[in-house]
Amino acid sequence: MGFGLGLGFHQKIIFAFLVVFLGSSKSTLPIGITSRRSNYYKSIKIVDPSGHGNFRTIQEAIDSVPPYSQGPWNCIYIKPGIYREQIKIPYNKPFIYLKGAGKKKTFVVWDAHDSISTSATFTSDAQYTFAKSITFVNSYNNPAGDGKKRPMKAAVAALINGDKSAFDRCGFLGLQDTLWDANGRHYFTRCTIQGAVDFIFGAGQSIYQDCTISVTGRALNGGIGFITAQARSGQWESNGFVFKECRIVGNGQTYLGRPWRDYARVLFYNTTMSRVVVPQGWDSWLLFGRENRLTFAEYGCHGEGANTTRRVPWLKTLSKRTLTHLTNISFIDDPGWMSMLPLKPLHCRLN
Ligand SMILES: *[C@@H]1O[C@H](CO)[C@@H](O)[C@H](O)[C@H]1NC(C)=O
Ligand SMILES: *[C@@H]1O[C@H](CO)[C@@H](O)[C@H](O)[C@H]1NC(C)=O
Ligand SMILES: *[C@@H]1O[C@H](CO)[C@@H](O)[C@H](O)[C@H]1NC(C)=O
């Protein structure tokens, strides 16, 4: 792959004061304390709707990043605000880091619907995409029960289609098909994912750690929703969703999941489940009678919704070896791409 990275990221850091010159701007903007780790950043661009940054829209900032970057990261710092745009990182733009001001401060909102392939507020087709402290919203029927309820339709907030991508403290808010975790190895940590129907779906190979799953099932008027619709389609495929140390909260009623494809694989591990989870837990949907193909499992979960006494009889019991395989970070981090992520605070922002 020829990345000049991965070396020394965990070595001792020597702090130094640096002044970063923003490429396109004549003025110099002090970035504050930074470190040798600032070599994570090839560029830092500021998005500010009031015109005091490099760009007013997020998409303009993405468009300004040269294609085929080999790293380090091109950071786009997005000031607090509600950005009404549909944004896309194309497949040829790896190493874009979208940094918001906070999960409850920087919002990207769009309200397309009908088709899962065109409705996403945020689409990433590139590998090495990283986003932190930003919330992606599809506002179609969301917030639910705002008095203007329209027919239930797929309305995607984010479509994550590239490999080796991560999301820290991000929000994904919608009602149906909120987060299309479509393809590749992904890490979601400290994120909030909200919806009622199939709202985490696709064939991603993902670990969700310390995330809040917020069920808005009341919008279904007594119907039972589905958190996941995983799409593993063959028994040798490596993908699957692993929820580790997460929390399921909300209102209404929900299944933990139903299969989108024949060999769907989902594990809830050491997760707290409120009573929104129905006792039977899972639905076999189109796989009725072929449930043996599915890998739907729970291990070490707690809370009122986690009682497995009345679960479907085909709930899988995983071997210790499989549990370790799925919950170890190596499930997604082979061969170590995550060491390139600027997961620690690394000053991609103006002070
Ligand atoms: C379960 O999760 C809690 C945090 O929510 C953590 O402290 C604990 O170590 C975890 N237990 C196992 C067995 O992973
Ligand atoms: C689990 O559910 C069963 C059947 O509903 C009930 O008898 C049992 O007490 C429950 N266990 C716990 C720990 O709540
Ligand atoms: C996780 O996987 C790595 C790499 O395969 C291994 O070195 C480590 O011991 C594993 N951790 C656990 C807790 O099994």
CATH code at position 278 = 2.160.20.10
The pLDDT, as a whole number, for residue 13 is 31
Look at residue 327 in the predicted model and tell me its pLDDT: 98
CA 301 – ligand 1 centroid, Å: 10
198 in active site: yes
Task: Report if residue 170 sits inside a domain.
Answer: no
Same domain, 134 and 209: no
Ligand 1 atom nearest to CA at 327 = 14
DSSP annotation of 101 reads: S
From CA 243, how far away is CA 208, in angstroms rounded?
5
What total number of domains does the chain contain? 2
Residues 86 and 215 reside in one and the same domain:
no
The per-residue b/e assignment along 268-291, b for 16 or more CB within 10 angstroms, e otherwise, is bbebbbbebbbeebbbbeebeeeb
Residue 190 lies in a domain: no
Atom 2 in ligand 3: residue holding the nearest Cα: 330
What letter represents residue 132's amino acid?
Answer: K
Whether residue 238 sits in one domain with residue 129:
no
What pLDDT score was predicted for residue 148?
A: 65
Residue where a domain terminates, one of 113, 147, 181: 147
Predicted confidence at residue 20, as pLDDT, reads: 29
Using a 6 Å cutoff on CB, does residue 328 contact ligand 3?
yes
Residue 342 forms part of a structural domain: no
Instruction: Please check whether residues 300 and 223 belong to one and the same domain.
Output: yes
Q: Which pLDDT value is given to residue 5?
A: 31
User: How many A from CA of 330 to the centre of ligand 3?
Assistant: 7
- End-to-end CA distance of the chain, in Å? 34
Q: If you take atom 14 of ligand 2, which residue's CA is the nearest one?
A: 307
**For the CA of 210, the nearest atom of ligand 1:** 5
- Specify whether 201 is located in the same domain as 328: yes
3-state secondary structure of 298: strand
200 and 142 in a common domain: no
Q: Which two tokens stand for residue 12?
A: 């001792």
Q: Are residue 203 and residue 295 in the same domain, yes or no?
A: yes
* Catalytic residue from among 168, 177, 181, 283: 177
Residue 296 C-alpha to ligand 2 middle, in angstroms?
21
Examine the domain organization and report whether 74 and 212 are in the same domain.
no
Within this chain, do residues 126 and 259 fall inside the same structural domain, yes or no? Answer: no
Report the nearest-CA residue for atom 3 of ligand 3. 330
Q: Identify the nearest ligand to the CA of 324 by its number.
A: 3
Q: What atom in ligand 3 is closest to the CA of residue 330?
A: 2
Whether 162 is in a domain gets the answer no
What does the alpha-carbon distance between residue 41 and residue 85 come to, in Å, rounded to a whole number?
Answer: 25
Number of alpha carbons in the 13 Å side-chain half-sphere of residue 155: 25
Tell how far the Cα of 327 is from the centroid of ligand 3, in angstroms.
Answer: 10
For ligand 3, whether the C-beta of 28 sits within 6 Å is no
What is the per-residue pLDDT for 236? 97
Distance 328 CA to ligand 3 centre (A): 6
- Are 127 and 255 in the same domain? no
Does some domain include residue 64?
yes
Triad 72, 76, 79: Cα angle to 5°: 150
Q: Where does 39-138 have alpha helices with state H?
A: 58-63
167 CB burial (10 A radius; 0-12, 13-18, 19+): buried
Q: Output the pTM of the full model.
A: 0.88
pLDDT of amino acid 145: 60
In a domain, 185, yes or no: no
Residue 308: DSSP 8-state: -
In short, whether 307's Cβ falls inside 6 Å of ligand 2 is yes
CA of 325, nearest ligand number: 3
Classify strands 29-35 and 15-20 as parallel, antiparallel or unpaired. Answer: antiparallel
Q: How many helices (H) and strands (E) does the chain have?
A: 3, 27
* Residue to probe by mutation, ligand 2, list 301, 307, 311, most atoms within 8 Å of CB: 307
Q: Is residue 102 part of a domain?
A: yes
299 occurs within a structural domain: yes
Protein residue closest via CA to atom 11 of ligand 3? 328
Asked whether residue 326 falls in the same domain as residue 212, the answer is yes
Cα three-residue angle 67-97-168, rounded to 5 degrees: 145
In the reported structure, the alpha carbon of residue 247 is separated from the centroid of ligand 1 by a whole-number distance in angstroms of: 12
- Which residue segment(s) compose the domain that 231 sits in? 196-332
For residues 108 and 220, membership in a common domain is answered with no
Q: pLDDT 10s per residue in the chain (351 long)?
A: 333 333 333 332 322 222 222 333 322 333 333 333 455 688 889 999 999 999 999 999 999 999 999 888 999 999 999 999 999 999 999 999 999 999 999 999 999 998 999 999 999 999 999 999 999 999 998 887 655 678 889 999 999 999 999 999 999 999 999 999 999 999 999 999 999 999 999 999 999 999 999 999 999 999 999 999 999 999 999 999 999 999 999 999 999 999 999 999 999 999 999 999 999 999 999 989 999 999 999 999 999 999 999 999 999 999 999 999 999 999 999 889 998 888 766 667 543
